[in-house]
Amino acid sequence: MMTGQWLLLERTEQLLPELYRLGEAPDPIRLFDDTELAECEEESPLLINAQTNPPVLAAAQSQPKAWPGLLLETAGPTEELLTHLRQILFIRFDQERRGVLRYSRQRTASYFFPACDHETRPTWLGPIQRLSWYGGTWHDCADGREAWHHIENQQATIWQAGAITYEQRLSAMQEQALQRQRGEHFLYQWWKQQSGIHFETAWNYLAGGMQAGFASAESLSTYLNLRYASPQVAPPATLPGSTDQERLDALAQHLATSTTDKESTA
């Protein structure tokens, strides 16, 4: 059976004009149609037949940052692929919480799909034989390591339509991956405003702040600023105080005192 190629593209301001400029018959299919997200049509990713639009495929492969999304390869019919893609939009996590998984975003894909092990991968990829995207995690972005990623699904040929009849529940590994995505995104926003600090070092600072009990964006940002300003000084094992501000004040005092002591003995 011949394998077909599809592009699942994120909506950008330039997407539709470029599709109709390059495509011979783009015929975009909105992913959110026929789902409870149908009213959000302007935000819906678009599914494009890559084989009938080779110039679009070539542009997406040569300039992937300008064409954010996924490249899908499948031997199944269009409707089966579309049904599956819509099915895995809606997920259950953290006991009974329900959400939308924006897996077509390359950054999310870089965390989520590598967290699908050999047991869960066939469920999430369904009829997709090969999934490809360009990008990486926020850590990859900070280190300049963005690249093409590929995941194979050897069980795609035996997948049957209707295999998923309910909303999928995230595994512990998948939940942890998405939590790390949120943490690294927060850190990336802070990191890019600094200079002379490796992302891995900043990640260790953030982990230390969370272990110390700081949870709000404001308190964690202050913790990062304090650690960044005194990189040679280790924080105390515990911080006294009953509020975030009291513990941040204690940390600031400890770092200032330790820095002064080091300078006086130098």
pLDDT of residue 15: 97
Q: Please, which residues have CB within 8 angstroms of residue 254's CB and are 6 or more apart in sequence?
A: 233, 235, 236
Instruction: Map out the domains of the chain as residue ranges.
Output: 4-170, 194-265
pLDDT of residue 159: 87
pLDDT of residue 152: 96
pLDDT of residue 263: 54
Distance (Å, rounded) from C-alpha 135 to C-alpha 143? 12
How far CA 251 is from CA of 30, 213, 215, 263, in Å, comes to 51, 13, 16, 18
pLDDT of residue 196: 94
pLDDT of residue 160: 81
Report yes or no: 260 and 253 within 8 Å, Cβ to Cβ: no
- Going residue by residue through the chain (266 aa), what tens digit of pLDDT does each one get? 578 999 999 999 999 999 999 988 899 999 999 999 999 999 999 999 999 999 999 999 999 999 999 999 999 899 999 999 999 999 988 777 899 999 999 999 999 999 999 999 999 999 999 999 999 999 999 999 999 999 999 999 888 877 666 788 899 999 999 999 999 999 999 999 999 999 999 999 999 999 999 999 999 999 999 999 999 999 999 999 999 999 999 999 999 988 765 555 55
3-state secondary structure 91-112: EEECCCEEEECCCCCHHHHHHH
Output the six-digit token pair for 175.
């939940």
pLDDT of residue 265: 54
pLDDT of residue 261: 58
pLDDT of residue 97: 86
